[in-house]
Structure 1
Amino acid sequence: MERKENIIEVKNVSMKFNLMEEKVDTIKDYVLKIIKGQMLYNEFSALTDVSFQVKKGDILGIIGFNGAGKSTMLKILAGVLKPTAGEVVVRGSVAPLIEVGAGFDPELTARENIFLNGAILGYRREFLKEHFQEIIDFAELNQFVDVPVKNFSSGMYARLGFSIATIVQPDILIVDEVLSVGDYRFQEKCEERIKTMILRGTTVLLVSHDLSLVKNICNRVVFLQQGKLKDYGDTDIICKHYEEECNVVR
């Protein structure tokens, strides 16, 4: 039996943020407080000493209650944030879909944002031209190609973002709650595309509060609680622990 290599290694990762104690209304006030040493912060630990590995071809679900650190972890894995402590090793190309409309300019049209967002993801302009119609067709936005995306609903944002991010076959696809936006039929279409990518060897990291979705497509699950690794392992076992924890909280 072939032994799969680790495509992601999370080693003792911690993430802390400094939150301002008081609201500052202007840049001038902010600068003056910095100069005078009057800016006070509260330190917030979003993640504390978290470690796990992801094998090539895994479909990893990341679950937990609100504020558990799930989205922070995905942003670290996507390279958006640098951890305060610890190390993350990612082997392969990453297509992050971690926030609806991230990388879009609201003043630009869908057409223009395809090239902007695609460039951010590292796609060549020639590639985007070649696959432009495929992106629009999947997002079901043919009537809105030249409409500024500031006029889009959250569902339309999600459809366009998902279509751009998944037009290629990345080594790693990172998805954060995007499938919860939009109608049920489009969610099913997204699930089918993800399953196709999985069959072709893409490793998927998925944050979702939809436990049925996690059970349906994930083979491994990370359970975060208050920024710490509560549990990690087989999907059925970890989801059962999570459901038991939900019952305790209720």
Structure 2
Amino acid sequence: MSKPIIEADNLGIRFVRNRRRQLRLREMFIHRGGRQPSASEFWPLRNVSFQIQPGEAVGVIGKNGTGKSTTLRLVAGVLIPDEGSITVRGEVAPLLELSAGFSNDLTGRENVHLVGSLHGLSPSYLKAKFDEIVDFAGEQVQKAIDTPVRHYSSGMKVRLGFSVIAQLQHPILLVDEVMAVGDAEFRKKCYETIERLLAEGRTLVLVSHNENDLTRFCTRGLYMDAGRLKVDGTVREALDAYNNVVRT
């Protein structure tokens, strides 16, 4: 068997909450010289280990706040673990927070080139694929492509972001609730794109609350609860564990 394309070993990350940062000026004056609210830390993810082989399609399942998206951000390299290690043997196409890389002051056209170049796409490639990218994003985006992105709806930004990232040839595809945004036509395009990428042998890690999406694309499931990996099995086993908790 080849080496895992993604390997997490006792993965943990610590966040610090400092209530003092959220105090209003009046409250800070009252507390001055007296007792200050103390910083507190919490672990959204801890002692998590798993391996994903090339070509696998894995669903990450759990309630909100259980560490699913944090796991994807660690795989993507957006976050750095405080404990353990994460090894990723291949470039990552991150379909998460798709509008995060956009500059609101630039037009949609300019943002296509900005975001594409940030992910390693060449100017010549983006020029050749530009019409295809914009067409995928839909009629609303087409009409507004030379308008500053600050005037776009969140759905328009996500559709344009997906259209750019879907052009990447990277072997690992990370998807975080992207298909929950947009109309039925856009979701259909998303499904077709992901199915095509899987057929090409890409590796998929999908975070979703949609059982149909999870069973459609994934054969394996990781069920997360309170920052811990509780079930690593078939997608059905992970979904059953999740549903049992939701029903109680």
TM-score for both structures, normalised by structure 2: 0.91
Q: Give, as a single letter, the amino acid of the residue that structure 1 aligns with 2:38.
A: L
**Number of the residue aligned with 1:131:** 129
Q: Percent identity?
A: 41
Structure 2 residue 86 is the aligned partner of structure 1 residue 81: no
**Number of the residue aligned with 1:197:** 197
Deviations 1:82-116 (A, max 9, x none): 01111001011111121131111111110010111
CA displacement at 1:66 relative to structure 2: 0.9
**Number of the residue aligned with 2:213:** 213
> In structure 2, how many angstroms separate the alpha carbons of the residues matched to 1:100 and 1:214?
20
Return 5+ residue gaps in structure 1 as ranges.
Answer: none
**Number of the residue aligned with 1:159:** 159
* 1:229-248 mapped onto 2 (5 Å cutoff): 229-248=229-248
> In structure 2, how many angstroms separate the alpha carbons of the residues matched to 1:25 and 1:85?
34
Structure 2 residue 182 is the aligned partner of structure 1 residue 182: yes
**Number of the residue aligned with 1:56:** 54
Deviations 1:172-206 (A, max 9, x none): 01111111001122111101100000000111111
CA displacement at 1:4 relative to structure 2: 4.8
DSSP-derived class of the 1:6 partner: coil
Equivalent residues, number: 238
> In structure 1, how many angstroms separate the alpha carbons of the residues matched to 2:135 and 2:106?
19
Deviations 1:35-70 (A, max 9, x none): xxx683110111011001111001111111010011
TM-score for both structures, normalised by structure 1: 0.90
Contact map agreement 2:231 2:237 (CA 8 A) in 1: no
Structure 2 residue 147 is the aligned partner of structure 1 residue 147: yes
Contact map agreement 2:96 2:174 (CA 8 A) in 1: yes
Deviations 1:129-155 (A, max 9, x none): 121111111111221110111111121
> In structure 2, how many angstroms separate the alpha carbons of the residues matched to 1:104 and 1:25?
31
DSSP-derived class of the 2:74 partner: helix
Contact map agreement 1:155 1:183 (CA 8 A) in 2: no
CA displacement at 1:168 relative to structure 2: 2.6
Match of 2:6 among 8, 15, 19: 8
Return 5+ residue gaps in structure 2 as ranges.
Answer: none
Match of 1:72 among 70, 73, 77: 70
Contact map agreement 2:61 2:238 (CA 8 A) in 1: no
After superposing on structure 2, the runs of 4+ consecutive aligned residues of structure 1 that deviate more than 4 Å are none
Deviations 1:110-133 (A, max 9, x none): 001011111221212222112111
> In structure 2, how many angstroms separate the alpha carbons of the residues matched to 1:185 and 1:137?
12
Instruction: State the superposition RMSD in angstroms.
Output: 1.8
- Once structures 1 and 2 are overlaid, which stretch shifts more, 74-83 or 146-155? 146-155
**Number of the residue aligned with 2:90:** 92
